[in-house]
Amino acid sequence: MKVNGTPTRTIWLASDGRGVEIIDQTRLPHDFVTLRLDTLEDAERAIRDMLVRGAPLIGATAAYGMALALRDDASDGRLALAYERLHATRPTAINLRWALDEMRAWLAPLAASARPAAAYARAAAIADEDVAINHAIGTNGHGVIADLWRRRGGTGVFNILTHCNAGWLATVDWGTALAPIYMAHDAGIPVHVWVDETRPRNQGASLTAWELGQHGVPHTVIPDNTGGHLMQHGMVDMCIVGTDRTTRLGDVCNKIGTYLKALAAKDNGVPFYVGLPSPTIDWTVSDGVREIPIEQRDATEVTQMTGRTAQGSLATVTITPPGSPAANYAFDVTPARLVTGLITERGVCPATPQGLLALFPEKETPR
């Protein structure tokens, strides 16, 4: 995708071939700042403090973090330490574990002397694979949008509601939930996006709105509680969201508040789709509500907000009374029964074990 007209990814190898560069997403939408990661500790902080976020990008950053960790010491002990420390940064997004498992399986059989170069090469391949997966999701999702728009008459604005940020900022490029929207827009379908602000970190208002604006896609930021009202009044033609982990039965874990949107969509007959890269499927989990660990983040993300003042400076303010505690559950789980379909790189399927296995038959457990 592009930033001020320049093609840009969210993570890339530095020109010296040693460090890794990222967009500091905590500074968006007010400042576009890139940072260099040089150490395992840098990669840990980038993931934990959400300088990078979104399940696919977390995975790619963890892969590069492994390469950084092994650059000067590629022993078995260092490999194990890097895996453990990176795995501990974020508990919910399954792409983190997937990428680390990929890196460990690739590197463990090699001699220590061969590991550094192999680690950089495999991390770069994981990043490129993510771009290809997301492009395919965009193509398949574009087909869904085009079909729904034609069935509605093929005229007028087609309104899509999304929650949190599942665009290119959440991946290496293209995005999951937003990739179909970008392709539909580029193909001439008059899409308009209702952008949930997505409290408490406001990834919708700060990130989704920013990248849609960069691409020229018409959009409107709304408070999180507005979606149900819009659906009741026929102002939403479809919902599409991303996912941080999806079970083999089709339950979808995504940013807190997604479940409520799915309930409203079901009640109003609005199609509810999920953009789903295959590394986000956790084939070991059946019951998403009970088995997926839900990250609980610092309460200050709820009690404080940061924005630009009228004078142009950035300021963080407290919005709650002194002494009032706050809970900060980062994700919730939408049961498969509320999901119209899963848009993957291999096609679109029902949110059922049969639907997923039809697209990924290699995951069938031998009887």
- Which amino acids are annotated catalytic? 244
Written as one string, the DSSP assignment of 109-136 is TS-GGGHHHHHHHHHHHHHHHHHHHHHH
Query: Do residues 25 and 57 lie in contact, with contact meaning Cβ atoms separated by under 8 Å?
Result: no
Written as one string, the DSSP assignment of 180-223 is HHHHHHHTT--EEEEEE--TTTTHIIIIIHHHHHHHT--EEEE-
- Torsions phi, psi of 282, nearest 5? -100, 100
d(CA 23, CA 31): 10
Pairing of strands 245-247, 347-349: unpaired
Q: For residue 2, how many other CB atoms are within 10 A of its CB? A: 12
Written as one string, the DSSP assignment of 25-51 is GGGTTT---EEEE-SHHHHHHHHHTTS
